[in-house]
Structure 1
């Protein structure tokens, strides 16, 4: 009887016991969100840095544009000798190119002053798009205006310094030396303004594309 009982026990088939699966969800990974947060912070700092650089460039451009307009607008020279019928005098408003130069640089300086509040907005709120896009559009228009005025004035200054033998135009800078020095300096200042505008356009374009 013992042997049959032992045989029965030895013939039993073991039944595997399955443990219940855990219903708890795996913890959400935070590494990816941390990387995204760090990236957004870096982009925000870069945009703010672009805004500060933009503001500094605008201050420098205001100084250059005002210097160009003032130097050209106050340029006048009268030679000490004259006759009964002729008085030898050179004035900037005798030439339309120089008049256009003064107006264009004055407009550029006024625009730059008005654009300063929008530049400050781009510093305080670096992710804003509307103000930055508006500055980009008007800076592009301003650089075209200033470059055209500087080029027109530069052609007159070149003729004043070198003349044109084919057209029998002589140089006037040998007599009106102070006049030529002032208008030459004004043209240089205007080209500096144009270069600063080009840098401003580049900065705005980079800030808009930065994500």
Structure 2
């Protein structure tokens, strides 16, 4: 029995002797805190990308202008659905906006559980696909907007923005909003790569 009583203090002293090993816990907490910070920034950037993508979609989708003439039977109209490129832009940016909304729960999982790799890897892959879609639609629309502003004398394409000023302003604003979403996607991909980096 005396040996049993002596083992109690020894075990407590051994536990006290192992107390310095607890100093490794703040390092792990620091890593978790760093990844959690990245996840919070990721969530906020996704909210910003949703705003810019939705604004670009709505702006292009409502771009329409009718030039006033003498009679209502003789009118010139410019609308986004007159150009297949702008139609592709609206559809692509609507898909990107929907994806961004659906990605928010996965981003929240990254905040709650920063060390989970699965959702972060899934977001990295899908963000890359969404970036390609957003970038292609934005670049195609930018080319048409450039032609609308400047025309092309070699192919006898006339600039229409002098007549359809409001239409061109809306289309240009939509293209700018889409490129903002593209830049945010690039940052999101870089953040996901840092979060997945092994320490």
Structure 2 residue ranges without an equivalent (≥5): 1-9
Aligned with 1:81: secondary structure?
coil
Match of 1:96 in 2: 84
Match of 1:53 in 2: 41
Aligned with residue 65 of structure 1, among 38, 53, 78: 53
**TM-score normalised by the chain length of structure 2:** 0.88
Aligned with 1:43: secondary structure?
helix
CA distance in 2, matches of 1:99, 1:191: 17
Alpha carbon RMSD of aligned pairs, Å?
A: 1.9
Does the 8 Å contact 1:82/1:88 carry over to 2?
no
Match of 1:80 in 2: 68
Q: How does 1:1-211 map to 2 (within 5 A)?
A: 31=20, 33-81=21-69, 86-211=74-199
Q: How many residues align?
A: 186
CA distance in 1, matches of 2:48, 2:67: 35
Structure 1 residue ranges without an equivalent (≥5): 1-23
Q: Could you say which structure has the higher helix fraction?
A: 2
* Alpha carbons of structure 1 residues 204 and 153: separation in structure 2 relative to 1, 3 Å: same
CA distance in 1, matches of 2:83, 2:40: 39
Aligned with 2:68: secondary structure?
strand
CA distance in 2, matches of 1:144, 1:135: 14
Does the 8 Å contact 2:56/2:93 carry over to 1?
yes
CA distance in 2, matches of 1:83, 1:157: 29
